[in-house]
Chains A and B, each alone.
Chain A
Amino acid sequence: MTAVSQANAQVQQANSTTLDAHSREFLVFSLGSEEYAVDILKVQEIRGYENVTRIANAPDFIKGVTNLRGVIVPIVDLRIKFHLDKVEYGGQTVVIVVNVGERIVGIVVDGVSDVMTLSPDQVKPAPEFGVTLSSDYLSGLGSLDDRMLVIVDIDKLLTSEEMALVEHSAS
Chain B
Amino acid sequence: MDITDFYETFFEEAEELLGDMERLLLELDVDEPDPEQLNAIFRAAHSIKGGAGTFGFLVLQETTHILENLLDHTRRGELTLRRDIVDTFLEAKDMLHDQLNAYRNSVEPDPEAFERICQTLKQLALDELGESVDGATPGAQPAAFDPEPVPEPLVEEPAETALSADTDTPDTGANTLCVALLGVSDKDRELLVEELQQLGSVLKQGGDVQRYEVILETGVSSDDIEAVMCFIVEPEQLEVRAAPGSAAPAVGQNDAVSDASPTAASESASEEPAQPPAVVESPARVDKAKPKAANAPAQTQGGKSKGGESSLRVPVDKVDQIINLVGELIITQSMLDQTASGFDGVTHSSLHNGLNLLQRNARDLQEAVMSIRMMPMDYVFSRFPRLVRDLAAKLDKDVELVTEGKSTELDKSLIERIIDPLTHLVRNSLDHGIESPDAREAVGKPRSGRLTLSAQHQGGNILIEVIDDGAGLNRKKLLAKAEANGLAVSENMSDDDVWQLIFAPGFSTAEQVSDVSGRGVGMDVVKRNIQAMGGHVEILSREGQGTTTRIVLPLTLAILDGMSIKVGEEMFILPLGAVLESLQPTRDDLYSMAGDDQLLKVRDEYLPVIALHQALDVQGARTEITESIVVIVQGEGRRYALVVDDLVGQQQVVVKNLETNYRKVAGISAATILGDGSVALILDIADLHRLSRRKSSRQSQLSPNKPAQEVLPS
Measuring CB to CB, which residues of chain A are less than 8 angstroms from any residue of chain B?
Answer: 51, 53-58, 64-67, 70-74, 103-105, 164-167
| A71 pairs with B661, CB closer than 8 A | yes
| A70 pairs with B661, CB closer than 8 A | no
Tell me the nearest residue of chain B to A64, going by C-beta.
Answer: B679
Whether, in the assembled complex, B570 has its beta carbon less than 8 Å from a beta carbon of chain A, the answer is: yes
Chain B neighbourhood of A164, CB < 8 A? 663
Chain B neighbourhood of A67, CB < 8 A? 673, 677-679
| A167 pairs with B677, CB closer than 8 A | no
- Contacting residue for A66 out of B663, B668, B679, CB 8 A: B679
User: Which residues of chain B from 642 to 668 have a CB within 8 Å of any chain A CB?
Assistant: 656-668
- Contacting residue for B665 out of A57, A105, A166, CB 8 A: A57
Cα A134 to Cα B215 with chains together (Å): 80
| A53 pairs with B679, CB closer than 8 A | yes
Nearest CB on B from A65, distance (A): 5
Measuring CB to CB, which residues of chain B are less than 8 angstroms from any residue of chain A?
Answer: 324, 327-328, 331, 570, 615-618, 656-668, 671, 673, 677-681, 691
Cα A57 to Cα B691 with chains together (Å): 10
Q: List 16 A-B contacts (CB under 8 A).
A: A51-B678, A53-B570, A54-B570, A55-B665, A57-B665, A65-B679, A67-B673, A67-B678, A70-B673, A71-B656, A71-B661, A72-B658, A103-B660, A103-B661, A165-B662, A167-B664
Cα A92 to Cα B64 with chains together (Å): 71
Chain B neighbourhood of A72, CB < 8 A? 656-658, 660-662, 671, 673, 679
Q: Known A67-B673, A70-B673; judge A56-B661 contact (CB<8 A).
A: no
Nearest CB on B from A89, distance (A): 16
- Contacting residue for A53 out of B324, B660, B678, CB 8 A: B678
Cα A65 to Cα B668 with chains together (Å): 13
Tell me the nearest residue of chain B to A58, going by C-beta.
Answer: B665
Cα A169 to Cα B280 with chains together (Å): 57
Cα A70 to Cα B674 with chains together (Å): 10
Nearest CB on A from B137, distance (A): 58
- Contacting residue for A70 out of B328, B570, B618, B658, CB 8 A: B328
| B679 pairs with A105, CB closer than 8 A | no
Q: Known A54-B570, A70-B673; judge A104-B678 contact (CB<8 A).
A: no
Tell me the nearest residue of chain B to A168, going by C-beta.
Answer: B663
Contacts A51-B679, A167-B659 supplied; 13 other A-B pairs, CB < 8 Å: A51-B678, A53-B678, A53-B681, A54-B570, A55-B662, A56-B668, A64-B679, A67-B679, A70-B328, A70-B656, A71-B661, A72-B661, A72-B671
Q: Known A51-B678, A53-B679, A56-B617; judge A65-B658 contact (CB<8 A).
A: yes
Tell me the nearest residue of chain A to B681, going by C-beta.
Answer: A53
| A51 pairs with B570, CB closer than 8 A | no
Q: Known A51-B678, A53-B680; judge A70-B324 contact (CB<8 A).
A: yes
Cα A53 to Cα B671 with chains together (Å): 10
